[in-house]
Structure 1
Amino acid sequence: MDRWTQRRLVGLGCMGVAAALLVAACGGGSDGVNSSSPPSNPPKAYVLDSVVLPASAAKSAVAPAAAVRPPAATLVLPPWNEAKQAAVAAPGTPTQIGVPRALPATQTVEDMARILHWSPSPEGGQVAALSITSTGAYGVRLGLVIDSLPDAAQVRLYRQDGSKSGYQTTGQAINEALARNRAADGNTQAAGTWWSPDLGAEEVTLEIGLPAGVSAAQLRFAIPALAHAYVNLALPTDADLRETYAVKSVGDAGSCELDASCADQYATERNAVARMTFIGPDSRYYYCTGTLLNNTKVDYAPYFLTANHCISTQSSATSLRTDWFFRSASCNSFAPSPLASTRQQGATLLYATSVTDTTLLRLNETPPAGVTLAGWDARGTATVNVPIYALHHPQGDWLKYSEGQIQRYSNCSLSGGGISCSAGNAQSDFLAVGWSKGTTEGGSSGSALFIGGRVVGTLSGGSSACTATGGIDAYGRFDHAFGNRLKDWLAQ
Structure 2
Amino acid sequence: MDWWTRSRRIGRWCVSAVAAAVLAACGGGGGGSGGSGGGSSSGSTPKAYVLDSLVLPASAAKSAAALPAALRPTAATLVLPPWSEAKQALVAAPGTPLQIGVPRALAATQTADGLAQMLNWTQASDGGLVAAVSITSTGAYGLRLGLLVASLPDTARISLYRQDGSKTGYQTTGRAINAALARNRAVDGDTQAAGTWWSPDLGADEVTLEIELPAGVPASQLQIAIPTLAHAYVNLALPIEADLQAGAVTKTVGAAAACELDASCANQYATERNAVARMTYMGSDSRYYYCTGTLLNNTRLDYAPYFLSANHCVSTQASATSLRTDWFFRSASCNSTAPNPQTAARLQGAALLYATSVTDTSLMLLNETPPAGVTLAGWDARGTAAPGGAIYALHQPQGDYLKYSEGQIQRYDNCSLSGGGISCASGSAQSDFLSVVWNRGTTEGGSSGSALFIGGRVVGTLSGGSSSCTVAGGSDDYSRFDHAFGNKLKDWLAQ
Q: TM-score, normalised by structure 1?
A: 0.92
Q: Is the 8 A contact 2:242 2:248 kept in 1?
A: no
Does residue 253 (structure 1) correspond to residue 256 (structure 2)? The answer is yes
SS of residue paired to 2:423: strand
Residue identity opposite 1:122 in structure 2: S
Q: CA RMSD in A?
A: 1.6
SS of residue paired to 2:95: coil
234 and 55 in structure 1: CA distance in 2 versus 1, 3 angstrom threshold: same
Distance 1:66 1:192 in 2: 30
Pairs within 5 Å for 1:165-176: 165-176=168-179
Q: Is the 8 A contact 1:138 1:202 kept in 2?
A: yes
Residue identity opposite 2:465 in structure 1: G
In structure 1, the partner of 2:466 is 463
In structure 2, the partner of 1:479 is 482
Q: TM-score, normalised by structure 2?
A: 0.91
In structure 1, the partner of 2:412 is 409
Q: Which sections of structure 1, spanning at least 5 residues, go unmatched?
A: 1-29
Query: Of 163, 174, 179, which aligns to 1:160?
Result: 163
Distance 1:113 1:65 in 2: 26
1:163-201 per-position Cα deviation (integer Å, ceiling 9, x unaligned)? 111000000000000000000000000000000000000
Residue identity opposite 1:221 in structure 2: I
In structure 2, the partner of 1:191 is 194
228 and 456 in structure 1: CA distance in 2 versus 1, 3 angstrom threshold: same
Pairs within 5 Å for 1:235-384: 235=238, 240=243, 246=249, 251-384=254-387
Residue identity opposite 1:446 in structure 2: G
Return the offset for 1:105. Answer: 0.3
Q: Is the 8 A contact 1:325 1:339 kept in 2?
A: yes
Return the offset for 1:61. Answer: 1.2
Q: Is the 8 A contact 1:409 1:423 kept in 2?
A: yes
* Identity over aligned pairs, percent: 76
238 and 181 in structure 1: CA distance in 2 versus 1, 3 angstrom threshold: same
Query: Of 83, 86, 98, which aligns to 2:86?
Result: 83
Residue identity opposite 2:123 in structure 1: P
SS of residue paired to 1:194: strand
473 and 239 in structure 1: CA distance in 2 versus 1, 3 angstrom threshold: closer
SS of residue paired to 1:342: strand
Distance 1:164 1:257 in 2: 34
Q: Is the 8 A contact 1:248 1:255 kept in 2?
A: no
Query: Of 4, 9, 23, which aligns to 1:33?
Result: 23
Distance 1:247 1:134 in 2: 25
SS of residue paired to 1:175: helix
Q: Is the 8 A contact 1:34 1:349 kept in 2?
A: no
Distance 1:273 1:388 in 2: 16
Q: Which sections of structure 2, spanning at least 5 residues, go unmatched?
A: 1-19, 28-38
Return the offset for 1:337. Answer: 0.6
Decide which moves more: 81-90 or 307-316. 81-90
Return the offset for 1:309. Answer: 0.1
Q: Is the 8 A contact 2:184 2:318 kept in 1?
A: yes
Return the offset for 1:63. Answer: 1.6
Higher relative contact order structure (alpha carbons within 8 Å, sequence separation ≥ 6): 1
Residue identity opposite 2:298 in structure 1: N
Residue identity opposite 1:383 in structure 2: A
Return the offset for 1:68. Answer: 1.1
SS of residue paired to 1:420: strand
Does residue 212 (structure 1) correspond to residue 202 (structure 2)? The answer is no
248 and 215 in structure 1: CA distance in 2 versus 1, 3 angstrom threshold: closer
Q: Is the 8 A contact 1:392 1:401 kept in 2?
A: yes
Distance 1:236 1:462 in 2: 23
Distance 1:156 1:219 in 2: 15
The ranges of structure 1 where at least 4 consecutive aligned residues each deviate by more than 4 angstroms after the TM superposition are 236-239, 241-245, 247-251
Residue identity opposite 2:385 in structure 1: A
Q: Is the 8 A contact 2:434 2:477 kept in 1?
A: yes
Q: Is the 8 A contact 1:65 1:158 kept in 2?
A: no
SS of residue paired to 1:369: coil
In structure 2, the partner of 1:420 is 423
Distance 2:439 2:343 in 1: 29
SS of residue paired to 1:142: strand
Query: Of 109, 121, 130, which aligns to 1:118?
Result: 121
Decide which moves more: 64-73 or 197-206. 64-73
SS of residue paired to 2:342: coil
Return the offset for 1:243. Answer: 5.3
In structure 1, the partner of 2:73 is 70
Does residue 232 (structure 1) correspond to residue 235 (structure 2)? The answer is yes
Return the offset for 1:89. Answer: 1.1
Residue identity opposite 2:383 in structure 1: G
Query: Of 382, 396, 400, which aligns to 1:393?
Result: 396
Residue identity opposite 2:118 in structure 1: I
Distance 1:357 1:65 in 2: 41
354 and 293 in structure 1: CA distance in 2 versus 1, 3 angstrom threshold: same
1:33-70 per-position Cα deviation (integer Å, ceiling 9, x unaligned)? 15842222421000000000001111111322422111
Return the offset for 1:253. Answer: 0.4
Return the offset for 1:86. Answer: 1.4
Decide which moves more: 350-359 or 118-127. 118-127
In structure 2, the partner of 1:12 is none
Q: Is the 8 A contact 2:243 2:250 kept in 1?
A: no
Distance 1:446 1:455 in 2: 12
